[in-house]
């Protein structure tokens, strides 16, 4: 009987998807749309397989495809019928976003599916739980993030990494004619060193002139990539592979094991140190959690791994697209550089805070290329959204940050322009100075909104502005790409630029430019 049940299980979960894949492949060969022939229409739905044909046909341009559909929808919301009886509501409507992130916050959590997909990587960390567990982690994290001592520690970590590692690497590249760097990789290494120091008090030394491999960093990269693929799969075949311990799921198990072993080793060393003295001297988040009495290894590991995920790729993703956009918009780069030169060589916190034009240009870059492209919630009970959409219990509701940054209804007819001025207005006191004018968090959702709004928002802006100032004051970043080439936006858990950002570094002739 058990063998018959297993065969039936395999038939439903393996053979049906394989047959569907066969027909999808044949269909895509016969009628795969080219960019010049694509027309925007709501995806057709079929019994059992839902809109799988449309999802598969648009797999290489999924972000733009969904953006086009949302632009065509009168309410900027549509239903996507996935396989079997699975439905998803996808929206770019700020009223709906406010409804799920604030008004009915308690009805829209991460949900069981999200938790299942990321449990291996994130465990029960703050980004993968709901209810009392989330509330507890949020409270203790919020307390630590609001301390001046942590802010000062973060400033020191960033400045040390910038001056001692990044600037020398860029200077060396500028001195050698023809040297091409993958700037996305450089920024990822910078961010990984930073967040490991801030979260663990541990320096992986990932950003060195030799650009070394680092076991912990590579394991993290592998874990994030495979976890993302679970979300993107047309059929959840990852569950079978996990059961059989084969393929990508075997690699995920190995990667997660390496991540947690590394984290556990550091935690035990810190706990041993704490046992020998009243408190830890370090200002990193792990030391703060342990010193305040949170000593459960699994709990601390989960929460610190979550913060590494949050800080590892978000700023590097934002800055990769930022430097590419600056290279295409020399007027904006000139304005940013002018503001930087008005500050001291190593700007203090208040000076960084006053870099208004740079702040606006970063916001504008993330509007077009958000570090997190989409975010999903799951309905705990039946509900009706502000636009009249009926949501059933267990249904996923996804708000599409990438699409929201491209909606003419939200940003005007010039939405495609990289225009920091849309975030600024002239100061009433001094017409020469700009004043930053933010958008409400439900229109500009880059840092989430409502009770789950990003705790590290100010830290992220501080890091990005210090990095931009440190680089642009001395160097010009010149992408090595064919004229007219537009990089491909890849939406992992945090977005990336496909193929990286190859650049040459040119040292500025400050006297000539001034």
pLDDT in tens, 222-270: 999 999 999 877 677 899 999 999 999 999 999 999 999 988 888 888 8
**What pLDDT, on a 0 to 100 scale, did the predictor assign at position 382?**
97
DSSP 8-state code for residue 100: I
First-to-last alpha carbon distance for the chain, in angstroms, is 82
Instruction: Answer yes or no: pTM beyond 0.75.
Output: yes
> CA dist 259 to 264, 287, 370, Å?
9, 18, 27
| Token pair of 421 as six digits | 């001025």
pLDDT above 70 (res 510): no
- Cα dihedral sign for 226, 461, 216, 448? negative
Is 293 buried (19+), middle (13-18) or exposed (0-12) by CB count in 10 A? exposed
Is 454 labelled a binding residue? yes
Q: Provide Rg for the chain, Cα atoms.
A: 24
* Span 103-150, pLDDT tens digits: 999 999 999 999 999 999 999 999 999 999 999 999 988 888 888 888
Give the distance between the most distant pair of CA atoms in the chain.
83
How do strand 87-91 and strand 396-400 relate by DSSP bridges? parallel
Give pLDDT tens digits for 350-403. Answer: 678 889 999 999 999 999 999 999 999 999 999 999 999 999 999 999 999 999
What is the rounded CA–CA span in Å between residue 471 and residue 507?
10
Q: What pairing do the DSSP bridges indicate for beta strands 390-391 and 383-384? A: antiparallel
- Segment 43-61, tens digit of pLDDT: 888 888 888 888 888 888 8
């Amino acid at each position: 009987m058990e063998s018959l049940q297993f065969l039936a299980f395999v038939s439903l979960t393996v053979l049906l998807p394989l047959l569907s894949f066969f027909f999808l492949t044949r269909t895509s060969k016969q009628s795969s749309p080219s960019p010049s022939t694509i027309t925007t229409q709501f995806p057709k739905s079929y019994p059992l397989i839902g809109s799988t044909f449309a999802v598969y046909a648009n797999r290489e341009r999924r972000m733009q495809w969904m953006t086009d559909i949302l632009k065509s929808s009168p309410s900027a919301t549509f239903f996507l019928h996935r396989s079997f009886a699975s439905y998803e509501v996808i929206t770019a409507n700020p009223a709906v976003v406010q409804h799920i992130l604030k008004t009915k916050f308690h009805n829209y959590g991460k949900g069981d599916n999200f938790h299942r997909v990321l449990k291996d990587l994130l465990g029960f960390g703050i980004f993968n739980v709901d209810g009392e567990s989330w509330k507890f982690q949020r409270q203790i994290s919020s307390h630590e993030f609001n301390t001046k001592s942590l802010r000062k520690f973060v400033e020191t970590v960033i400045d040390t990494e910038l001056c001692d590692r990044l600037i020398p690497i860029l200077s060396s590249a500028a001195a050698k004619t023809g040297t091409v760097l993958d700037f996305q990789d450089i920024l990822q290494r910078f961010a990984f060193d930073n967040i490991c120091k801030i979260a663990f008090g541990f320096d992986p030394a990932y950003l060195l002139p030799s650009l070394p491999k680092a076991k912990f960093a590579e394991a993290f990269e592998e874990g994030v990539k495979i976890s993302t693929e679970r979300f993107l799969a047309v059929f959840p075949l990852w569950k079978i592979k996990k059961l059989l311990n084969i393929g990508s799921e075997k690699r995920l198990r190995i990667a997660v094991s390496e991540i947690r072993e590394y984290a556990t080793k550091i935690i035990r060393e810190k706990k041993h140190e704490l046992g020998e003295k009243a408190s830890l001297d370090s200002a990193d988040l792990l030391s703060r959690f342990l010193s305040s009495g949170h000593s459960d290894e699994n709990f601390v590991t989960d929460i610190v791994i979550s913060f590494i995920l949050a800080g590892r790729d978000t700023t590097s993703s934002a800055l990769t697209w930022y430097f590419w956009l600056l290279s295409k918009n020399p007027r904006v780069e000139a304005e940013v550089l002018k503001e930087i030169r008005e500050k001291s060589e190593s700007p203090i916190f208040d000076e960084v805070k006053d870099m208004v034009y740079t702040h606006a240009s970063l916001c504008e870059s993330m509007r077009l290329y958000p570090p997190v492209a989409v975010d999903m919630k799951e309905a705990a009970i039946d509900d009706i959204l502000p636009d009249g959409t009926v949501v059933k219990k267990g249904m996923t509701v996804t708000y599409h940050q990438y699409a929201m940054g491209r909606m003419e209804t939200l940003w005007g007819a010039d939405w495609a322009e990289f225009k920091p001025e849309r975030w600024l207005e002239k100061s009433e006191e001094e017409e020469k100075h700009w004043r930053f004018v933010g958008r409400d968090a439900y229109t500009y959702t880059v840092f989430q909104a409502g009770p789950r709004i990003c705790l590290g928002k100010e830290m992220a802006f501080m890091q990005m502005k210090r990095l931009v100032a440190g680089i642009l004051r001395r160097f010009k970043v010149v992408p090595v790409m064919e004229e007219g080439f537009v990089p491909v936006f890849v939406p992992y858990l945090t977005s990336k630029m496909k193929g990286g950002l190859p650049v040459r570094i040119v040292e500025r002739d400050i006297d000539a430019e001034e």
